[in-house]
Amino acid sequence: MKHVLDGLRVVELAGIGPSPHAAMQLADLGAEVVRIERPGGVTQLLPVDKDAGLRNRRSVSADLKDPADLARILKLVDKADVLIEGYRPGAAERLGIGPDVCRQRNPRLVYARITGWGQDGPLAPYAGHDINYLALTGALNAIGRDGDRPHAPLNLVADLGGGSMPAVTGILGALYARERTGAGDVVDIAMVDGVSALMTMFWTLTENGLWSDRRGTNVIDGGAPFYDTYECADGRYIAVGAVEPVFYAQLLAGLELDPAGLPDQYDESAWSTLRKTFADVFVTRSREEWVQAFAHLDACVTPVLALAEVPDHPHIAARNTVVTAFGQRQPAAAPRFAEAPPATYASPRTPGADTEAVFRDWGVDDDR
């Protein structure tokens, strides 16, 4: 049994954020990923050997501003199926490793470019962060409580959901097309585009009069009392997502509330009253007591877990959704395949640790 991307060769020009996350996903699925690090490595928040996002690939050190080092890396590109870079538009071209140069040498190469604003447009030359891409797509305006300012979520939405995930999709799509055409492609992945695509459902609801721009007042943005979090007696929280009537009925059963004495589920004028009713009940028991009360009810009610609690949850543990590798806990590779072996987790490498080994293993001639 082989991993699904066994035999795929990927050159990753070292960066931060979505580009290493995309490279990690390909490596987790069996691709041979080589990370090209500048001398000394990329500045980051923690030591390289502790960064689970850098697992499962080898590291080559090269100064792309040095013609000799650039020539060596271009020889690796000649052998690669995919190149991933996350520089500002034009930076790779200035370094001599842009898509025109690389694809002239290797026409089958899929060249993936991940940026915040894309390769063109008025904002393309400028910096940005997750919160900025959310702001420009309407996503940020939709996140928060009624009457409160917009709240920035974790940088899962733009950097990863709008960046690395579309990058992997684009790379695999270009590879599939290459099987028909024999030619690679240049994939322009913009986080602002990716977030906009994630907003498809909310555009559709808005265009059909089913979503309000007044945040915190809609069914699945915390506006509805049956789609919210509630504090328990021990100060911990329970998440409720009982949107459909069948689940809502189970929610009321678990709370031991008689529906006859409550307003209709979708009577928005009574949502504040219903929310107070739920809050008053949830606060009477601890989170664990509520977990037990809903254990056999299909009510879409779950505990809100801190990261430290996640690995011990029965479902997470049963699926090995969190694994321990190179001395620390980390998310398991996803997705899983019935006909492929489980993923393995090689520790992150010191920048440049594999330089000569990679050139030898890839069969690249080296005159130095």
- Which residues carry out catalysis? 129, 159
**Contacts by residues 92-95 (CB-CB < 8 Å, ≥ 24 positions apart):** 92/13, 95/64, 95/65, 95/70
Q: How many CA atoms lie within 13 A of 89 on its CB side?
A: 18
Angle between helices 245-255 and 271-282 (to 10 degrees): 40
If DSSP codes are grouped into helix, strand and coil, which group holds residue 18? Answer: helix
Tokens 């011990």 locate to: 312
Distance (Å, whole) CA 73 – CA 63:
9
* CA–CA distance, 364 with 158 (Å, rounded to integer): 37
- Of the candidates 178, 32, 18, 12, the one whose C-alpha atom is nearest the C-alpha of residue 92 is 12
The C-alpha atoms of residue 201 and residue 105 are separated, in whole angstroms, by: 42
Q: Report the run of H or E that residue 110 belongs to, with start and end.
A: strand 110-115
Q: For residue 237, how many other CB atoms are within 10 A of its CB?
A: 17
The Cα-based distances of 49 to 225, 259, 325, 326, 352 in angstroms read: 44, 55, 11, 9, 13
